[in-house]
């Protein structure tokens, strides 16, 4: 089963905008059968309930962020327990925008991953190098450290729940993407690190996807050719027509 994840980020600024988005999306989904593809949308927290109520089982919902504690005096935070009670099945952990603007570190991300799984939420762990790290040829080192530190304490029997998104930071919100060969190399490396940590049998269970400037035009090069298990889409997921076009291509 392939996965197509739409990260709506901090968008849809009013109930009206949300309703317009949902109505366009439902129109695009009418009559579509995405048999081989799981479509997952990550709206802002405040829209989660409306998305769940409005969309059929065809679309799963997930969160862009969460805290690692279940409840208590943590003003302003959202717990994974709250998310699972709302029907969330997935949540991002360690997106580069969280690392950059909210200074999230691998140690905290690993706590989040464990907390998500404890609450039945499949974590989507984002890893990837910055432009400078790429120029310094540190890609392999960066990805490998992120994986080792973020997956610390994760039980290998839970690996089938985990999605690893290779998201080179320089390709996010830009209009450039790595070559299919570079993406394939990253995928091989990610799998190798997983094998080193968890052993071959379990490492095969984790899904590895690509994210960063994905659109219908480059889908072949960033997902189909390097044989990824799916994709994480930012900007294009705000356009229901494009999102469903991509999902259909992945599904074929
Ligand atoms: P983008 O975002 O598709 O707009 O580059 C991707 C992401 O942040 O996951």
Q: For ligand 1, say whether the CB of 120 is within 6 Å of any of its atoms.
A: no
Nearest atom (ligand 1) to Cα of 213: 5
CB 68 within 8 A of CB 111: yes
What are the boundaries of each domain within the chain?
2-251
Q: Which residue has the higher pLDDT, 148 or 175?
A: 148
Read off the pLDDT of residues 45-91 as tens digits, 9 standing for 90 and up: 999 999 999 998 889 999 999 999 999 999 999 999 999 999 999 99
Reported confidence tier of residue 248, pLDDT bands at 50, 70, 90: very high
Choose the residue to mutate in 233, 237, 239, 246 for probing ligand 1, maximizing ligand atoms within 8 Å of C-beta: 233
End-to-end alpha carbon distance in the chain = 11
pLDDT > 70: percent of the chain: 100
Nearest atom (ligand 1) to Cα of 165: 9
CATH fit for domain 2-251, picks 3.20.20.70, 3.40.1280.10, 3.20.20.140, 3.40.50.300: 3.20.20.70
200 C-alpha to ligand 1 centroid (Å): 30
Q: For ligand 1, say whether the CB of 240 is within 6 Å of any of its atoms.
A: no
Alpha-carbon span 183 to 139, nearest angstrom: 11
**Is pLDDT above 90 for 147?**
yes
Q: For ligand 1, say whether the CB of 232 is within 6 Å of any of its atoms.
A: yes
pLDDT > 90: percent of the chain: 97
**pLDDT average, residue stretch 203-230:** 96
DSSP string over 78-147:
--HHHHHHTT--EEEES-HHHHHHS---HHHHHHHHHHHHHTT-EEEEEE---HHHHHTT-HHHHHHHHH
Read off the pLDDT of residues 206-219 as tens digits, 9 standing for 90 and up: 999 999 999 999 99
- pLDDT at residue 57, as a whole number: 81
Nearest atom (ligand 1) to Cα of 215: 3
- pLDDT at residue 229, as a whole number: 97
pTM for the structure as a whole: 0.97
**pLDDT average, residue stretch 173-180:** 95
- pLDDT at residue 56, as a whole number: 81
Alpha-carbon span 192 to 178, nearest angstrom: 20
- pLDDT at residue 15, as a whole number: 97
């Amino acid at each position: 089963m392939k996965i197509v994840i739409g990260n709506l980020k901090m968008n849809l600024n009013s109930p009206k905008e949300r309703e317009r988005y949902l109505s366009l999306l439902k129109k695009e989904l009418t009559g579509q059968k995405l048999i081989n593809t799981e479509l997952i949308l990550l709206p802002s927290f405040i829209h989660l309930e409306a998305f769940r109520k409005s969309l059929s089982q065809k679309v799963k919902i997930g969160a862009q962020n969460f805290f690692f504690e279940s409840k208590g005096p943590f003003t302003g935070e959202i717990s994974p327990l709250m998310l699972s009670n709302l029907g969330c099945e997935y949540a991002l952990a360690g997106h580069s925008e969280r690392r950059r603007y909210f200074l999230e570190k691998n140690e905290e991300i690993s706590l989040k991953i464990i907390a998500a799984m404890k609450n039945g939420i499949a974590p989507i762990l984002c890893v990837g190098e910055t432009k400078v790290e790429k120029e310094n040829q540190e890609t392999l080192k960066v990805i490998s450290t992120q994986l080792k530190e973020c997956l610390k304490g994760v039980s290998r029997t839970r690996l089938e729940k985990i999605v690893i998104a290779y998201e080179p930071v320089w390709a996010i919100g830009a209009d450039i993407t790595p070559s299919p060969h570079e993406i394939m190399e990253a995928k091989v490396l990610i799998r190798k690190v997983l094998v080193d940590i968890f052993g071959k049998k379990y490492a095969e269970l984790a899904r590895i996807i690509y994210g960063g400037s994905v659109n219908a035009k480059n889908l072949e090069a960033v997902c189909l050719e390097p044989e990824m298990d799916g994709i994480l889409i930012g900007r294009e997921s705000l356009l229901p027509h494009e999102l469903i076009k991509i999902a259909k291509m992945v599904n074929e």
